[in-house]
Amino acid sequence: MRREKLKLKVKALGISTGGPLVAVINEEDAKILDLHPSDRIKIFHGENFETTVVDIAKRSSRIPKGSIGAMDELSDSMNLKDNSLVTIKVARKPLSLDYIKKKLDGYHLSREEIEQIIWDIVHNKLSDVELTFFISACYCNPNTMDETVWLTKAMAQEGQILKLNKKVIIDKHSIGGIPGNRTTMILVPIMAAAGYTMPKTSSRAITSPAGTADTMEVLAKVIFPFQKMKDIISKANTCIVWGGALNLAPADDKIINVEKTLMIDAESQLLASIMAKKHSVKSTHVIIDIPVGPNTKITDLRKAKNLEKKFRQLGKKLGMEIKVILTDGKQPIGNGIGPALEARDVLKVLRQDIGRPLDLEKKCLLMAANLFRILGKEDGLNIARKILKTGKAYEKMKQIIKLQKGAPNIKPEEIPLAKFEYDMIAKKTGKIKSINNLSIAKLARIAGAPKNQGAGIYLYKHIGNNIRKGEKILTVYSGTKEGINYVRDSLGSMADIVVY
């Protein structure tokens, strides 16, 4: 006869699942409650209770009969210690599994169904396999615009919401895929110096040599409590912080981790992922940069224009003014690739140093001009250029760095680089015809970026530049001799990294 409840002794496993709440019970105890892997149990400990996924231990030596193994997330959630006594009973599986199956079957979901799925994701009620099924369902049966709107709002509402009591809040986002594309760290001080509020939450690198948060962290801290971020914004009109520490649209990070593993990028998920972060800070005017090129995330102009249309549609339904720009993604932007090298580029542009990367400056001015245009100012290019040339943007950046506990007066050349170097030398005279973004990014990561802030690549040449035999094409910086040896070996198999 099946019992309804069972008392077990806790064994803390010291293992993290990375999200889902998981408990492990002995095979004999599982038979008593007729439990199978991925079933749900409800665990009671004092006044606390939690619903968790169950796994079954085949070897009694790991989880003896009468015991229950608690993964770290479950232990933390319920404050469970070794030998704590808990009571368990069978629980029904989350409602959202029925909705995920509905989506897999090709049907559209309602707002309430999507909200339930996102709630279950955020509260760790779905296993990695179940979350994978949801993402796959949206990939194979693309969301309608209504579903994308509901998904965006649900993702934002399940996290922190920034309320600043401002009529105009601006933001930007780049689809990515371009090494060195550190426009945020120049655009933000330009717009803040012009008097606009721009609370910038940025990401760390996932597959690139540096994210904006990684590069900003070279100059200042990027991890702050929510209230401290608001204090920085109140003083500087802006901030440049890591969004991952702020619980903004937390479902997004879980979804991205699965997408990265599957190497898929569902369009509706991409739209919701980007716009949920904007919605969570109550952005009113947003510029979206879509680089288009042979080795970028968006390789096809037709796809880029379709994505542009959907960004504008989604923005309208969310009450945002959206401007999308399609930019040249054929090669890296700037000279530095990797956190420290990119931070040097940013400071050179803000300081207006001789030898600054003019391609990075030009792109930032283009983005500023378009932002000013949707804010009703047609002479935005001249406004942005003047803010940059007069040093107002640089002074604003120094204020941001100081408020974020950095060294505001640091010079570009004072930012340390990794101590071992390797030069790629031109073997013949010619002209640079192409630079492979993916290969450049891979090489910088091989060198140690972004984990080693000083590692990366310095590009001396760009597409269209003439080069003579014996000149440097690029220099790779790594923290170890082994890293340099790995770089040298890898270059041998990267025939297309630079074609000249």
- H/E element, 321: strand 321-328
b (16+ CB within 10 A) / e for 83-114: ebebebebbeebebbebbebbeeeeebeeebb
Name the residue among 281, 310, 287 with its Cα closest to residue 156: 281
E-strand stretches of 175-305: 198-202, 238-242, 285-292
Residue 386: partners with Cβ closer than 8 Å, 6 or more residues away: none
Whether 72 is catalytic is no
From the list 54, 64, 62, the residue with the least C-alpha distance to 14 is 62
> Is-contact 392 185, C-beta < 8 A?
no
HSE-CB for 91 with a 13 A CA cutoff = 18
Q: 430-431 and 85-91 as β-strands: parallel, antiparallel, unpaired?
A: unpaired
From 128, 265, 353, 359, the catalytic residue: 265
| The two structure tokens encoding residue 401 | 């760095």
Strands (E), 236-284: 238-242
Dist. CA 5–CA 337, nearest whole Å? 58
Answer whether 43's CB lies under 8 Å from 23's CB.
Answer: yes
Radius of gyration, alpha carbons of the chain: 25
Buried b (16+ CB within 10 A) or exposed e, 37-47: eebbbebbbee
Distance CA 155, CA 442 (A): 31
The count of C-alpha atoms lying within 13 angstroms of the C-alpha of 166, restricted to the half-sphere facing its C-beta, is 21
**Catalytic (active-site) positions:** 265
